[in-house]
Structure 1
Amino acid sequence: MKLNKKYWEQRYAENRLGWDIGHVSTPLKTYIDGLQNKELKILIPGAGHGYEVSYLHQQGFTSVYAVDYAAAPLQRILKENPDFPEDQLIEGDFFELEESGFDLILEQTFFCSLPPDLRSKYVQKTFDLLKTGGTLSGVFFDFPLTEQGPPFGGDLELYRELFQPPFRIRILERAYNSIPPRQGNELFFIFTK
């Protein structure tokens, strides 16, 4: 199975969006609500329907970027937020993203949608995209790694092994505020470059 642009476009066309909870994720909303600097340069990779993107925009964050293989979810973000800067919605491959200097990368389901053989590449790419002192934060799924994905899963020890180094792990723990269907299956994290 090739998880390429065609694959993801088809998933959206067929509305096969099992990861889509229909609103901003509770752990990420809580984290966003604690951010004070509205000028942070923020990236959301694999943004999907972009609930986090929309929420950040509605809260007054001015430099929010979203990247996704599929055009449909990016178009939906723009439709729901007509004043969103269109040049900050990037249709393409996250691994080919050239924009950099991000203060924060927010992770919500993208990492666990990647085939496990791309995970080390993700770690390096997020590290490269962030400014020194920048933060990678969000949630990872916490269930046994599987070949039957996406999502492919993983656990605390696997994530610790992948991300440390090059990141400094500030928090990596079970999310206390997951939505009921994901309770006990999400880890919240904050990593620093």
Structure 2
Amino acid sequence: MKKNNLDSIYWKNRYKHGQIGWNIGYPSTPLKDFIDQLKDKTIKILIPGAGNSYEAEYLWNNGYKNLHVLDFAKQPLNNFKKRVINFPEDQLLHSDFFELNNKFDLILEQTFFCALNPSLRKDYVEKMKQLLQPNGKLVGLLFDFELTESGPPFGGSIIEYKSLFATQFEIKVLTPSINSIKERQGKELFFIFENL
């Protein structure tokens, strides 16, 4: 598949020109509902490709202080820092996800997977496994629409995701999202994958 060069310059330009259709301005309902069920506020959490990261803001404001926010582009991290003034600088990661070396208990996926060139999907799965503690969880949303040449966002199907993730994770949940925002209803799958 021929794809755009989805490097840091590409994402910088998307923010510069306001081409951020994924930015809904508040935490995604399925992720907010999942966060509301968490009990242990000491867990170490990563949100990769976080963008403006309203989920991270929600977590922070609800007492989750062992939280790390990563993005390839600097602008969304600056936007986040303006909203969450007391967020520690060393937990804002302006970095390439694939170069990150750390361990987390929980990684939240929200429009990151679909923004990557589909040729990187196997690398994504392997990197997620590497970043998670044993029994750590990768939780979030994946788009449920045909994978085409155009994107991002790039889609996929339950069948594809099962074959991709089942080699490295126990698939606890992979089901159509019942509480997606209106614009994404019928197009999202909610998942919980546990590191084997």
Query: Is residue 2:63 matched to residue 1:57?
Result: no
Query: Is residue 2:30 matched to residue 1:27?
Result: yes
TM-score, normalisation: structure 1: 0.98
TM-score, normalisation: structure 2: 0.97
Structure 2 CA distance for aligned equivalents of residues 146 and 25 of structure 1? 24
Runs of 4+ more than 4 Å apart: none
TM-aligned CA deviation for residue 4 of structure 1: 0.3
Structure 1: gaps spanning 5 or more residues: none
TM-aligned CA deviation for residue 139 of structure 1: 0.3
Identity of matched residues, %: 52
Paired position in structure 2 for 1:82: 85
Matched AA of 1:115: N
Paired position in structure 1 for 2:50: 47
Structure 1 CA distance for aligned equivalents of residues 149 and 126 of structure 2? 22
Q: Could you list the per-position Cα deviations for residues 65-92 of structure 1 after superposition, in whole angstroms to 9, with x for gaps in the alignment? A: 0110110110111111111111001001
- Helix, strand or coil: the match of 1:118? helix
Structure 1 CA distance for aligned equivalents of residues 81 and 25 of structure 2? 16
Structure 1 CA distance for aligned equivalents of residues 26 and 165 of structure 2? 28
Paired position in structure 2 for 1:11: 14
1:35-184 → structure 2 map (5 Å cutoff): 35-98=38-101, 100-184=102-186
Matched AA of 1:124: E
Q: How large is the RMSD of aligned CA atoms in angstroms?
A: 0.6
Aligned length: 192
Structure 2: gaps spanning 5 or more residues: none
2:191 counterpart (186, 189, 192) = 189
